[in-house]
Amino acid sequence: MTPQPANSVPRSLKRLLPLLTLSLVLAACSQPSSMPLNQSVSGDPSASAPQDHDDHDASRHASEKGHIHEIHAALPGVPRSELPTNAKLAPGTLTVPQGTRLSAQALPSNTQTNKVALKVLILSSGPTDFGLNSAKSMLSQSGVPFDVLDATTTPLTTQSLIASDGVGKYQGIILTDAALTFQSSPNFYSSALDTSEWATLFEYEKAYKVRQLALYGAPTTVPEDYGLRIVPGTEFATGNLNVTAAGKTAFKDLTGNALPLRNAYTYATQLEAVTGVVTQPLLTDDAGRIVAATSATDGRERLILTSAQNPALLHTQILGYGLVQWLTKGVHLGEHRRFLQVDIDDWFVNGSVFDPATGGLRSEPFRLSASDALGARDQQRAIDRAYNVVNNFEYAVMFNGRGAVPSSPATCVPQLYGDQIKDALSSVSRCMAYDFDWVNHTRDHWRMDVMDLPTSTAAIVSNFTIGTQLGLQLSRKSLVTGEHSGLGYMDPTDNGNNNDGGFLQPKQDLGLGRSNPNLITAAVNSGVRYLASNRSIASQWDASCPSCGVPHPMNPNLLLIPRYPNSLGYHVTTPEEATTSYNNLYAPGGAAAYWDHAFDYAELLDVDSTQGVGHLFDGTAWPTYMHQTNLRQYAPGKSLASDWVNAVVEKYARYSTLPLNTLRWDALGAYVERHTREQKALAANAYTAIWNRTFNTVRITPAGAPVPFTLTGLWGGKVYGAYEAYPLTINSVVDIVVRTR
């Protein structure tokens, strides 16, 4: 439908948008006194990158009797000012500027409407556009290449959409909101596209059969009619999204259970009969009003959501994959897979234990017992059996051989061996040699920030030797240093004389350039290719490619694999310890007070598992790391670590049917290594991909040297969910047969 004329807003006024603040785009945001406990909290508290977690530094000196760490806890949530709780669009006052033409620009004479590049265009209303990060995030999570056009500064023309050879530049269009709304002057809301630009966009979508996704909208007749009308007075920010029968078809990965919507302004709508418009509800609120729908008109396919999106919110995370697959018709560069990777650090050594009564550490440290270790094995097996989405789950055990006794006999029933058992944990570990993925955590867990080369080498090599003596199934290309040390996050005054003692706190992020070159050399010389880093430290992950590993600048043969912390501290073994420690940080009066009350254990698990499930939905392969203290069997068949994994997977399985893969660390590193090469090649325009929909083939043309890529939709590829994908490497032009879903 052609946009409705309205008051003219000159392009020069549009260019003022970068100077406007977010408060001019949104209505004033009220800050609730508390946040719902099932609100997703896996977002970016710094607003610098959509998936960042800067962990709160609550480090302290601790007793040397136990194994001590700096505390790394996942932040409980994003700042409330960044949540779209009151993200109103002012639909009643929106105008669309009058364009210079009465209709769309004429299509060029050489149009090849059967061909489109495998790339998506995001149309944005400027740098303060609150939907832009959501659009970027969901595309990045599937590896889909995209361009962003700021409609307030750059005109949208046929040249923006159609290449010189007549091929469409984009296979899909995302509108960050349905009208590209911005506040061009006080109390004056305008569309960032004028009437002729809207007409040009619609003509392109019609001619090239390109779908349009509006991530948020308050449906009216301007700039086009979706066959929906707002139901006045029914707006809400907290409720449920119920999946219709049509929604299950569009979102092929969903179970059909209601989705939680929290802190996201939502316009409830109802159908309106409009000539030439066919609208199909996908999601409804609890009263049956529509909050998402597909709508077809004049040969165009559109999908609109009427709730605000944010990459930190659970409903956005759940819907993102299905939205991308709908937009691209299941054919796109890149792939989306999900992983359940859980690491347990410090196996074999003593750990400090938090004392809820004093807020300090107990005098006696904790070390896993044989029954604790066997319980971890049994619990991971139970998780694998309990959920259809889980595929061969096992813990990755980061072990410190200092505490092991390789000569202790291998048995899972140490009580039968009497005095032959020199160390029961070593015996059952040998018995369970193939039940976990065993990963080198260095022999002694010393900090390696300024360690010399011989000591660094010995720390790594001797631990591999101990693992071999124990008969463990080792990931031999992988390494986790104590406290992720040696990577530039450190006490800047450390002189290396006290690698196992106290340090000046808090540590500082000095960047990878301050990594210990002796560690890097020792790791590479020892056959290590994949080195764990901390996802909560800014320099230790790639904000420009959140799903990419980081080749170390001192030696690109060493790839950093980021890991997430969670809120179960390294020094807690029971629900009481975990809860009290958490409340000491985030409850009223805590060091980083965030909530309006102190949590019980169920609330802590609910909040932190929601953050954890967000990491599953984002499609990155990053592990979450915990510690051997968290595996204490505080009750029969119960440990903090397994409680957390169960809570995360139960929440995930409630909404999604996509399998969760668990890879051994060496395989994980290889996967991330290839994925990183693919994403970097894509960013460097190392090849083009053109979809010929007449023959349903995609032509890949490399620009130079052979490049790796993955194509989703490839006929006969590896099935994941409802779609097929396959990794390929080519050195010449190739046509690949695909199919839509």
Q: What is the pLDDT of residues 721-741, one digit of tens each?
A: 989 999 999 999 999 999 987
User: What pLDDT does residue 240 have?
Assistant: 97
Give me 298's structure tokens.
């004049």
- 567: phi then psi, degrees, rounded to nearest 5: -95, 10
Q: Which H or E element spans position 519?
A: helix 517-525
Task: Kindly provide the b/e burial profile for residues 57-74, where b requires at least 16 CB atoms within 10 angstroms of the residue's own CB.
Answer: bbbeebeeebbbbbbbbb
What is the tens place of the pLDDT at every residue in 13-25?
333 222 222 222 2
The pLDDT, as a whole number, for residue 105 is: 79
Axis-axis angle for helices 370-386, 424-431 (nearest 10)? 30
Q: How large a percentage of the chain has pLDDT more than 90?
A: 78
**pLDDT 10s digits, 364-412:** 999 999 999 999 999 999 999 999 999 999 999 999 999 999 999 999 9
Segment among 9-13, 337-341, 480-484 with least mean pLDDT: 9-13
pTM above 0.85, yes or no: yes
pLDDT of residue 352 exceeding 90: yes
Residue 49 has pLDDT above 70, yes or no: no
Element (H, E) at 134: helix 132-141
pLDDT, average across residues 546-552: 97
Q: How confident is the model at residue 68 (pLDDT cuts 50, 70, 90)?
A: low
Residue bearing the bigger pLDDT, 65 or 502? 502
Average pLDDT over residues 273-280: 98
Amino acid at 519: L
3-state secondary structure of 72: strand
Mean pLDDT of 530-548: 96
The mean pLDDT of 205-215, rounded to a whole number, is 98
DSSP string, 187-249: TEEEESS-HHHHHHHHHHHHHHT-EEEESS---SSSS---SEEE-TT--BSSEEEEE-HHHHH
What's the DSSP call for residue 30? P
Output 89 or 144, whichever has higher pLDDT.
144
Phi-psi region of 230 (alpha: psi -120 to 50; beta: other; left: phi over 0): beta
Residues above pLDDT 70, as percent of the chain: 88
DSSP H helical segments within 618-738, as ranges?
A: 640-655, 665-683
The lowest-confidence range among 69-73, 334-338, 343-347 is 69-73
Report which residue type is found at 723.
Y
- Mean pLDDT over each residue of the chain, to the nearest integer: 88
Q: Is the pLDDT of residue 57 over 90?
A: no
The pLDDT of residue 679: 94
pLDDT for the residue numbered 419 = 85
Report the pLDDT value the prediction gives residue 501, as an integer from 0 to 100: 67
pLDDT at residue 281 in the model: 98
Q: Residue 59's pLDDT band (boundaries 50, 70, 90)? A: very low
Confidence at 70, pLDDT banded by 50, 70, 90: low
Give the model's pLDDT for residue 2: 37
- C-alpha 390/C-alpha 661 separation (Å) is 7
Interval 568-594: pLDDT, tens: 999 999 999 999 999 999 999 999 999
- pLDDT(542) > 60: yes
Model pLDDT for residues 498-526, shown as the tens digit of each residue: 677 666 678 899 999 999 999 999 999 99
pLDDT band at residue 493, thresholds of 50, 70 and 90?
Answer: confident
CA–CA dist 689, 699 (Å, integer): 6
List alpha helices for 587-634, DSSP H.
601-617
Whether pLDDT at 32 is above 60: no
Strands 211-214 and 172-175: parallel
